[in-house]
Structure 1
Amino acid sequence: MKSTSRHTKTVKHAVLFLGISMALSHTLLAEEASKDTTKPESFKHKMHTLKAIDTVGVRVHTGTFENTLTIGDKFLGNTQASNIRDITQADSSLEVGGGSQIASKLYIRGLEEQMLNVSVDGITQGGNAFHHQGSINLNPAIIKSITIQKGYASPESGPGALVGSMKVETKNAFDMLRGSKKKYGAILDLGAFSNFGLDGSAAVYGILGKDANSFLGKTGVMVYYSKQYMPYYRAGSTIYGRSDFVKPSDRNEKVQSSKNNSDNVVAKITTELNEANSLEFTYNFMTSNTITPFAANVFIPTENPLYNNDLFNNQGSFKYEYNTEKFKANWNTYYSQKKLFLYPLAGDDSDPSTVVSSSSPEAMEEAKDHDDEVRPLNIAVQTAGSDLVFTNTFGKNDSLFKYGLNYQLIYQSLRNDFRTDPHGHTVEEAAGFTNRGREYANIIGGFVSLDYHLLDSLSFQAGSRYDFYNYVDKFNQVHNTNNISPSVALVYTPIDPLDIKLSYAFSMRGAKPTDASLLYSVDANIDKNLKSEQAQNTELDINYQSDHFNLRGSLYYQTIHNFINSYFNTDPEDEHAFLKTNMPGYVEILGYEVAGKVMYGGFSASLGASQQFPFYKGVYGITDSFELGAFTGATLTLNLNYDIKDWGLSFGWLSRVVLTTGEFSAYNLYFNTTENYQKFGYDTHNLYINYTPPKHDNLTLRLAFTNIINRLYINPASPRKEVFANPKDSDEASYPIYEPGFNAKFSISYKI
């Protein structure tokens, strides 16, 4: 076992390397976004005050945060992205763990998605139904762009953006018809993949009205439907590095929890009433069915019942925008309802087709008395809110002043029977509590921000949020928390292609509902004096961009105080005796990102690397913690692309390598102790081929080969030491699920 001091030296060497290497940052995907998010001609007059976020090949000095990554629809289409893992695979600072699709969680710089403010079409994805499952459910085929802010978020991102934000925008009718003279159209996509399943989608769209000055304005209508059916996938066969963390018998086996059967419907109505006013209504319905272990991303060999998971998600938003040359107003109102049904199953665990429901009245009553994870659950998470944002543009350099208000309601409840009175082994503080099986929070906030150009070569950014959280927990305890979240940054441009930015941000997040699955348990106690969580991020960003060469990167130091841990264990003899409380120590994270790209003609090549070094109570390394993070070894990415435009052909190659960490003594936040820890790495390599006949550009054929070397691996961002892996047990007490092996994907797309 390596000592803590030895790992501290490793951290220092990494920092020294960064200082010598210069430049630091995230993978460059935004060129697709800059090409593919153009609005139709009727909207172009409204775009002149907007500024590019992170475009490649174009100098970036826009007053936006350099920690911002934008992923465009061209990349998603060319790679046949079908899930959150495919979407984020080209950026070294993003990782998706979990194995099965329903369990997939996004980690940004090692921190879990629950630490972010995530929105889809302005709908904040607040709350969390089940800690073993991810909360970001996306269909990449309809996505226009994804904007990710790492480390900290701009004030207008809304409440809850403790360490960053993720904003997803889907396409509307104008996006579907861009570049076309038609007023209507349709598109059909059909695909199949060898490991294993089918998917397809269809959309119809059209534009009503002649121009923005007609009676009802110019209106775009779109309806979209997609289907994916995966009865299973198989694990790989070849092993990266050491082989003692996987069982040879598992090679090329069907992964038990890999079934996915999902449907997605999106409807959008977009209206430009006149040159200044526009409206948009969005409705989205998504459903997903899977069969997994109760711990959807972890196998527990000693007690491993299968569960049927039915997830239903309804959400809608209404947006109004007023836009003139110097002033802009946006009003967004939304509602989201997520329902999750978990039913225990009985049968042959190795063959999901044999399982049958064990949710008989007798079994359900016995489960109620036992009050643990062998019982059915009917969970509902509802979110509603409204955001009002104003933007003033002033000065010859188009400086920006933004301000606005936010409101959000999060309501979580159990809709099946549950135990209300404490067990005899409940911690003493729980005596007399009655579990209501529901929680809610009201969040009220506001913000101001300024992006001011002091000189042509110097820009000053400053802003702050104020948020008040009113949280009423399942025991009817009231938690009122509030704080401010200020940030400041300087962007210096000594020469035209070079930007240097130094920034500091303090972020606050109050106490709120988190894991709704814990509502059933009276043993999961809640501290009556919860304090707000606080994060600080100090970051240096360097960005050099020329016509044929880009280099950029980040070096950052981050702290998280008062982390609210819902799974802190108060009794090592009872793995279910949780306490939701602020952790006494604070988390420190030192990290870096570096990426470079060369471009010539139709060829481009990019190389990226990143790593995070976490500390808690002065101890290097933190074992995986739900709602906090999962840290891995250094990550390297290589992305090669070659376009032959005259032939309509494009080729892409994407490699991702995650290095194995050394063995060290890491801190376990569940049991307040240190334990031996190691994360095994992996490597995957993908090839993409796309063909659009020059004379028939309404037809596109796509072919993808992923995990070409058929790697058998466990994503290190999946929990290796999760809450049920008590230190008194061996490492085999639980282990994460294998990722997919080799997969050949083919799709055909036809536009009318």
Structure 2
Amino acid sequence: MTTRTAAQRLALTLLSCSTATFAYAQDDTPVDLGEIRIQSSEAQAVLGNDEITAEEIEERNAATIADVFAGESAILASGGAPIAQKVFVNGIEESLLSVTIDGARQNKSAFHHTGNVLLDPALLKSVEISAGLAPADQGAGALAGVISYTTKDARDLLEDGDNFGGLYTLSYGDNGLGFRNTMTVFGETGGFEYLLSGTRATGDDYEDGSGDEILGTGADLTDYMAKLAYTTEEGHRLSFSASETTDSGDRASQSGFIRPDFAEVVGRESELYGALSQRTSYTLTYEHGDAGGIWAPYVQLSYNEQVMDVGSLYGVNKSFSGVASNEFQLANGTVNVGFDFFDESAEGFDNSVSPRTSNGSEELRNIGVFAQARQDLSDRVSVSYGARYDWSTLEGAEGTEFSDSGLSVNGSIDYILNNNWTLNAGVASSWGGYELGEAALVNFRTPWTYDGFTTSRANAIRLGARYEKGPWAVSAALFQTEIEDIAAVLPSDGARGDLDDLTSRGVDASVTYTGGRGFATLNYTYADVELNEGTIASTDYYLGRPVGHVFGLEAAYDVNDEIRIGGTAQVALENNDTELALPGYETVNLYATYTPVSMENLTLRMDVYNLFDATYASRSSDGIDFAGVVPLTEPGRTINLTASIKF
């Protein structure tokens, strides 16, 4: 039986179940469902669907996307300046996941030595991550899962009874961290909401634990955001957001190209270049989540553009996308039904001439339909299952057009054994469609060719269990994600039709103790990441990184009503599976906050990053097993002071 035939049969089964349960919701009578258990944070965590909450982001005092995932083990972010940071889920790079900001699809892959999605976490509300098991309503191309970023609205920041407010945060750190200022004002009147925010961060190059200065790592980030919304008395809500995030610092360059992900390139002299990474986004959303009965419509249109000045080349990614759906209430759950689309392009330019000239472009279009059900079948059994079908077309840089379509299906179950034990299982088969090549390198040096070019597919499975008793919560899961026929995003000699097979398999585990005044969580991940049946290298861009064994720790304790102390830590064990062994390391970050009872709108905080001044390169960094590269080591001990006042 072929994979596609199996997927089609599973889809028919899922559709039959959904049709049977949908009969319970044919009138407009509101149904109080409470919380569907399979959507609870505990069930989703075992299924690989983690959520970084607003409280956790605040605990980590996140200034970069790497800070957002501090203390995690399954989700790693590479280091350096924001322009260089990439996110990996169980060792698979985010370019193989569906990435959204406030529901809007993000295009990526502008240049392989830089990050995919530039994001400032100043107003980040939450991050939801699906590892391998992507729901059908989370967008196309979710081969290895989903990363969904959500930013705060005015209603998230306003105090009860207030119609205006503001938030100002100032921080200063040594070791190159420098100054960071964020100013936000927000308000609400007569159903109209507004939020305006700006961030400016500047700093010098930092020193690692050995005292070596790492060239081109100084902060130079600017972020603006505006969000407007109007909600009627009947619950209709129309919102618009616009944002622009820019990293324009001097970055290390060799032979005409920036490489901010490396400390040095062996045999090549480094010099500074005024690089640019910029993301501009516009999103319009209509929703009516409080309609009652079977209606909860959601419609969104979004445009985002990412530009990258990397020296001799200049890359531009553009994306126009939309989704329309309705979440129908069933007697025992919900089913979300709708369609989505995107129209994207990647264009590269010769940046060594003025004005710069185009080297060529690719264009990618996709239309998909989906249905995803989430139900409590009984007091003990909860399920989530769904399917989507996509039609995709790609126009190559030499004008050839490719068209294909495919089915994606998923299913998961949460089964309560007794008061303490719960079992979870999930499977997914995801059609990946086509993927745009790297924008900056379109037709660079060699015209791109498409012999053998095709679509990809991923198959994922996850089996887990959790135990809860009193203050203790323990969970563990086995996972495997296989992605076949990944066409070359960064083609060698222009061969876009070169194909790779990628596999990530291993285990995730977590132990949490929650007391009256604090908590402690220990996370553990082992991810064996293989490319074409061999251990993946740390320079296999747009694919993954060799993870091995990683531990993450996060803890916090309220000393009293005014003082809180806590910290995060990451431990990576030595990995000998790579061509050059990856050394192990341990790094610890501590913090203390003071919020006076007499002035609860003021918070003072001190962070000590890399407490023991370790010299190390993050396990997810580029080039750490490559003899031709001096890996980018992380900052040595750094002290940061932050003051935040809400008015």
Specify the alignment match of 2:644 in structure 1.
Answer: 749
Say yes or no: does 1:263 pair with 2:222: yes
Which stretch shifts more, 90-99 or 141-150?
Answer: 90-99
In 1: Cα distance, 2:461 partner to 2:433 partner? 21
Give 2:287's aligned amino acid.
Answer: E
Residue 606 of structure 1 contacts residue 639 of structure 1 at CA under 8 Å; is this kept in 2?
Answer: yes
Q: TM-score, normalised by structure 1?
A: 0.77
Shift of 1:560: 1.3
Residue 613 of structure 2 contacts residue 637 of structure 2 at CA under 8 Å; is this kept in 1?
Answer: yes
Distance 1:199 1:617, change over 3 A: closer
Give 2:281's aligned amino acid.
Answer: Q
Higher radius of gyration, 1 or 2: 1
Unpaired runs of 5+ in structure 1? 1-44, 210-217, 238-251, 344-375, 420-434, 570-576, 667-675, 723-730
In 1: Cα distance, 2:435 partner to 2:525 partner? 31
Say yes or no: does 1:508 pair with 2:444: no
Specify the alignment match of 1:322 in structure 2.
Answer: 288
Distance 1:709 1:698, change over 3 A: same
Specify the alignment match of 1:39 in structure 2.
Answer: none
Alignment equivalent of 1:380, drawn from 312, 316, 323 = 316
Shift of 1:49: 6.1
In 2: Cα distance, 1:439 partner to 1:383 partner? 12
Specify the alignment match of 2:12 in structure 1.
Answer: none
Aligned-residue sequence identity (percent) comes to: 21
In 1: Cα distance, 2:269 partner to 2:458 partner? 37
Q: Tell me, what secondary structure is at the counterpart of 1:332?
A: strand
* Aligned residue runs from structure 1 range 245-644, under 5 A: 252-290=211-249, 291-293=251-253, 294-298=258-262, 299-306=264-271, 307-323=273-289, 324-326=291-293, 327-343=295-311, 376-395=312-331, 397=332, 399-416=333-350, 437-523=360-446, 525-567=448-490, 569=492, 577-583=493-499, 586-620=501-535, 622=537, 624-644=539-559
Shift of 1:693: 0.7
Say yes or no: does 1:703 pair with 2:606: yes
* Aligned residue runs from structure 1 range 55-70, under 5 A: 60=42, 66-70=47-51
Say yes or no: does 1:689 pair with 2:596: no
Residue 334 of structure 2 contacts residue 375 of structure 2 at CA under 8 Å; is this kept in 1?
Answer: yes
Q: Tell me, what secondary structure is at the counterpart of 2:627?
A: helix
Say yes or no: does 1:734 pair with 2:611: no
In 2: Cα distance, 1:52 partner to 1:549 partner? 19
Give 2:464's aligned amino acid.
Answer: D
Distance 1:52 1:169, change over 3 A: farther
Q: Deviations over 1:482-518 (max 9, x none)?
A: 2111112222112244321111100111123131111
Which stretch shifts more, 683-692 or 713-722?
Answer: 713-722
Shift of 1:50: 6.3
Alignment equivalent of 1:76, drawn from 57, 60, 77 = 57
Which stretch shifts more, 399-408 or 297-306?
Answer: 297-306
Which stretch shifts more, 451-460 or 677-686?
Answer: 451-460
* Aligned residue runs from structure 1 range 121-270, under 5 A: 121-178=102-159, 180-196=160-176, 197-209=178-190, 218-237=191-210, 252-270=211-229
Shift of 1:558: 2.0
Aligned residue-pair number: 605
Give 1:187's aligned amino acid.
Answer: L
Distance 1:288 1:100, change over 3 A: closer
Distance 1:52 1:278, change over 3 A: farther
In 1: Cα distance, 2:45 partner to 2:58 partner? 26
In 1: Cα distance, 2:279 partner to 2:618 partner? 27
CA RMSD in angstroms, aligned pairs only = 2.5
Specify the alignment match of 1:653 in structure 2.
Answer: 567
In 1: Cα distance, 2:81 partner to 2:63 partner? 13
Specify the alignment match of 2:582 in structure 1.
Answer: 679
Q: Tell me, what secondary structure is at the counterpart of 1:517?
A: coil
Give 2:400's aligned amino acid.
Answer: Q
In 1: Cα distance, 2:504 partner to 2:38 partner? 26
Shift of 1:203: 0.9
Q: Deviations over 1:297-346 (max 9, x none)?
A: 12223234433212232211011002222321110110012222233xxx
Shift of 1:465: 1.4
Shift of 1:269: 1.0
Q: Deviations over 1:427-473 (max 9, x none)?
A: xxxxxxxx951111111111112223332211233211111221112
Shift of 1:603: 2.4
Shift of 1:638: 2.1
Q: Deviations over 1:87-144 (max 9, x none)?
A: 0011111111243331111111000010111111222111321111102222222111
Q: Deviations over 1:341-370 (max 9, x none)?
A: 233xxxxxxxxxxxxxxxxxxxxxxxxxxx
Distance 1:640 1:418, change over 3 A: closer
Distance 1:439 1:617, change over 3 A: closer
Unpaired runs of 5+ in structure 2? 1-29
Q: TM-score, normalised by structure 2?
A: 0.88
